[in-house]
């Protein structure tokens, strides 16, 4: 029994760290405003020895998240030129061209 | 080939094109224009055919190809200028340049007209949703322009005449013989065969039949060309006759192409006096190291003394400088033809030779170098030694007497 208790104590700390890391990830992913970020930062700061290094990671991840959600620049050309109906609708009136050529070219 | 609808000409493939290399380039990079949802605004400063300035557009990524563009006959149309320069006077150069711009320049082909769109000559328009095809389409690019002669011959569109065997049986497209290297005006790699001291760079051609013969039948059919196979006709005539003399069939010739500007539309137009099928063997007007044949197939081109009468009188003062029956390589090759039926299919058969009686009187002088004065006599029998004396008079222009002694094998 004593040995089992000591074994449990030996594995308890890493387990807590894993759980806290998981919580941190969830908090960052679900954050919608600064208060959440602050909460996550506080958690990170209070619970992990390497709190100082965690903040830059969060900032980087913020930047990555911001960039990932920005839409690509719109190419007005392709909006029209990939739309058959729009091309038909905006086409210039077709002029009948009567060729005056005679014979093989 | 049915013409494209207006929307088809400019419809971009939304699924595949963006993923291509060229799809990564913003439209405006090549086409100009303005980013706007309004069509008129968007098309301000639009460049519909950016590859007309290949150096600034395609050349940014394809400098190796564009660097030889000036030698590309599709770009510079030098073949036309070569013959025009010989028939016209330098004094009329400015007017001839105007005529050329009105009536001949349509044959100019830009990069885009081979690799992304149909030629403007047939109405233009994107072929494959703006996807660039490294290999042009035989029917929508090559024969769109080269249609009335090469295309019709090669694809067997003349009634009663088979398609070229290279297409019919070999399923070979134009690119099988006419490499991109050739099409881009790049000099052939002479050094591959000719090592020092003959190492040299081929001079850009001034005509499609100028310079190294490429492609050539001999490149693939080596033993036939050297007369080293078991075919008697190859043994007898290898090198003396172009391959087309025996292996081509009737092809298109044209008469009298007159050009003018329409009174009603103001557009340039042409009118040819006629086109017809025929087969004519004549003397080689381009005999050279690269084309050593004595006899070749000849095609009539529609040059007439009054081609440019709309623009002025006597604009072809040196009309007789070149023959009007020209060296040709019909793209309707067959293994078995009327000529290969027997030796006497040609020997003694005046019908298939360009004799003086087949040439328009006003063109006789121009064609003296290619008219066949002496028809090869029929082959009589094996081991016979035949002495032949021919006297042929043709329309008071020339008289020849020839004595030939040779020993023939039986047909």
pLDDT tens, position by position, B381-391: 433 433 333 33
- Retrieve residue B192's tokens: 């591959």
State the nearest Cα–Cα gap between A10 and chain B, in angstroms: 54
C-beta atoms surrounding B16 within 10 Å: 13
Is residue A84's pLDDT more than 60?
yes
Q: Could B270 and A105 be called an inter-chain contact, meaning their C-beta atoms sit closer than 8 Å? A: yes
Residues of B within 8 A of A82 (CB-CB) are 11-14
C-beta atoms surrounding A89 within 10 Å: 11
Minimum CA–CA partner of A88 in chain B: B7
- Retrieve residue B331's tokens: 């793209």
Residue A94 sits at the chain B interface (C-beta within 8 Å): yes
Indicate the residue of A81, A91, A100 with minimum beta-carbon distance to B12. A81
Model confidence at B269, pLDDT cuts 50, 70, 90, reads very high
pTM of the model: 0.76
Indicate the residue of A87, A100, A102 with minimum beta-carbon distance to B272. A102
Give the whole-number percent of chain A exceeding pLDDT 90: 16
Residues of B within 8 A of A72 (CB-CB) are none
Model confidence at B194, pLDDT cuts 50, 70, 90, reads low
Residues of A within 8 A of B271 (CB-CB) are 101-103
Distance CA B402, CA B376 (A): 11
Distance CA A4, CA A12 (A): 12
Is residue B369's pLDDT more than 70?
yes
Quote the pLDDT of residue B186: 78
Minimum CA–CA partner of B15 in chain A: A82
Query: ipTM > 0.90?
Result: no
Quote the pLDDT of residue B223: 86
Model confidence at A75, pLDDT cuts 50, 70, 90, reads confident
Q: Could B11 and A88 be called an inter-chain contact, meaning their C-beta atoms sit closer than 8 Å? A: no
Q: What is the pLDDT averaged over residues B337-351?
A: 95
- Select from B38, B125, B13, B11 the least CA-distant residue to A76: B38
What does pLDDT average to over chain B? 87
Is residue B66's pLDDT more than 70?
yes
Model confidence at A12, pLDDT cuts 50, 70, 90, reads low
State the nearest Cα–Cα gap between A105 and chain B, in angstroms: 7
Q: What is the pLDDT averaged over residues B117-137?
A: 94
State the nearest Cα–Cα gap between B202 and chain A, in angstroms: 31
Q: Could B33 and A77 be called an inter-chain contact, meaning their C-beta atoms sit closer than 8 Å? A: yes
Residue B335 sits at the chain A interface (C-beta within 8 Å): no
Residues B51-63 have pLDDT tens digits of 999 999 999 999 9
Q: What is the pLDDT averaged over residues B201-208?
A: 72
Query: What is the CB-side half-sphere exposure of residue A101 using CA atoms within 13 A?
Result: 11
Q: Could A101 and B12 be called an inter-chain contact, meaning their C-beta atoms sit closer than 8 Å? A: no
Is residue B359's pLDDT more than 70?
yes
Count of A-B CB contacts under 8 Å: 70
Residue B31 sits at the chain A interface (C-beta within 8 Å): yes
Q: Could B6 and A91 be called an inter-chain contact, meaning their C-beta atoms sit closer than 8 Å? A: yes
Is residue A96's pLDDT more than 90?
no
For an interface test with B, give the residue of A74, A83, A90, A104 to mutate (most B CBs within 10 A): A104
- Retrieve residue B307's tokens: 């081609």
User: Is the CB of residue B70 less than 8 Å from the CB of residue B50?
Assistant: no
Indicate the residue of A90, A99, A104 with minimum beta-carbon distance to B272. A104
Model confidence at B380, pLDDT cuts 50, 70, 90, reads confident
Is residue B88's pLDDT more than 60?
yes
Minimum CA–CA partner of A87 in chain B: B7
Is residue B337's pLDDT more than 50?
yes
B389 forms beta bridges with B403
Distance CA B329, CA B177 (A): 13
Residue of A71 and B192 predicted with greater confidence: A71
Lowest mean pLDDT among A13-17, B130-134, B319-323: A13-17
Quote the pLDDT of residue A73: 67
Residue B252 sits at the chain A interface (C-beta within 8 Å): yes
Quote the pLDDT of residue B387: 38
State the nearest Cα–Cα gap between B333 and chain A, in angstroms: 22
Residue of B241 and A67 predicted with greater confidence: B241
Quote the pLDDT of residue B381: 45
State the nearest Cα–Cα gap between A67 and chain B, in angstroms: 20
Q: What is the pLDDT averaged over residues A20-27?
A: 81
Q: What is the pLDDT averaged over residues B367-394?
A: 66
């Amino acid at each position: 029994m004593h040995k089992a208790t000591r074994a449990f104590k030996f594995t308890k700390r890493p387990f807590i760290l894993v759980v806290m890391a998981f919580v941190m990830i969830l908090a960052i992913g679900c954050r919608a405003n600064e208060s959440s970020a602050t909460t996550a930062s506080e958690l990170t700061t209070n619970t992990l020895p390497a709190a100082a290094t965690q903040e830059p990671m969060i900032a980087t991840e913020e930047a990555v998240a911001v960039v990932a959600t920005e839409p690509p620049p719109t190419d007005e050309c392709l909006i029209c030129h990939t739309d058959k109906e729009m091309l038909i609708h905006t086409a210039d009136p077709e002029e009948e061209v009567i060729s005056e050529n005679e014979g093989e070219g | 080939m049915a013409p494209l609808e207006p929307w088809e000409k400019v419809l971009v493939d939304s699924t595949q094109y963006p993923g291509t290399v060229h799809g990564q380039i913003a439209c405006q990079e090549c086409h100009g224009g303005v980013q706007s949802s309004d069509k008129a605004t968007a098309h301000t400063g639009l460049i519909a055919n950016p590859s007309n300035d290949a150096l600034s557009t395609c050349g940014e990524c394809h400098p190796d190809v564009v660097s030889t563009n000036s030698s590309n006959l599709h770009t510079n149309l030098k073949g036309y200028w070569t013959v025009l320069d010989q028939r016209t006077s330098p004094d009329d150069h400015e007017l001839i340049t105007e005529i050329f711009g009105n009536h001949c320049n349509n044959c100019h082909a830009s990069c885009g007209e081979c690799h992304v769109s149909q030629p403007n000559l047939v109405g233009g328009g994107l072929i494959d949703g703006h996807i660039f095809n490294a290999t042009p389409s035989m029917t929508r690019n090559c024969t769109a322009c080269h249609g009335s002669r090469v295309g019709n011959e090669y694809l067997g569109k003349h009634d009663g005449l088979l398609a070229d065997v290279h297409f019919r049986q070999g399923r070979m497209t134009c690119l099988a013989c006419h490499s991109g290297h050739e099409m881009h005006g790049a000099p052939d790699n002479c050094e591959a065969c000719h090592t020092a001291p003959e190492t040299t760079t081929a001079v850009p051609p001034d005509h499609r039949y100028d310079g190294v013969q490429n492609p050539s039948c001999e490149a693939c059919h080596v033993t036939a060309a050297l007369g080293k196979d078991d075919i008697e006709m190859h043994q007898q005539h290898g090198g003396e006759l172009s391959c087309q003399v025996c292996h081509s069939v009737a092809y298109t010739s044209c008469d009298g192409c007159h050009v003018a500007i329409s009174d009603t539309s103001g557009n340039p137009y042409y009118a040819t006096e006629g086109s017809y099928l025929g087969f004519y063997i004549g003397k080689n007007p381009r005999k050279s190291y690269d084309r050593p044949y004595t006899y070749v197939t000849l095609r009539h081109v529609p040059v007439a003394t009054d081609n440019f009468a709309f623009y002025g009188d006597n604009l072809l003062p040196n009309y007789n400088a070149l023959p009007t029956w020209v060296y040709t390589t019909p793209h309707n090759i067959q293994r078995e033809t009327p000529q290969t039926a027997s030796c006497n299919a040609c020997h003694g058969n005046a019908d298939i030779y360009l004799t003086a009686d087949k040439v328009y009187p006003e063109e006789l002088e121009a064609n003296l170098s290619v008219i066949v004065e002496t028809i090869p006599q029929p082959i009589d029998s094996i081991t016979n030694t035949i002495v032949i004396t021919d006297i042929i008079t043709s329309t008071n222009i020339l008289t020849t007497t020839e004595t030939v002694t040779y020993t023939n094998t039986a047909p």
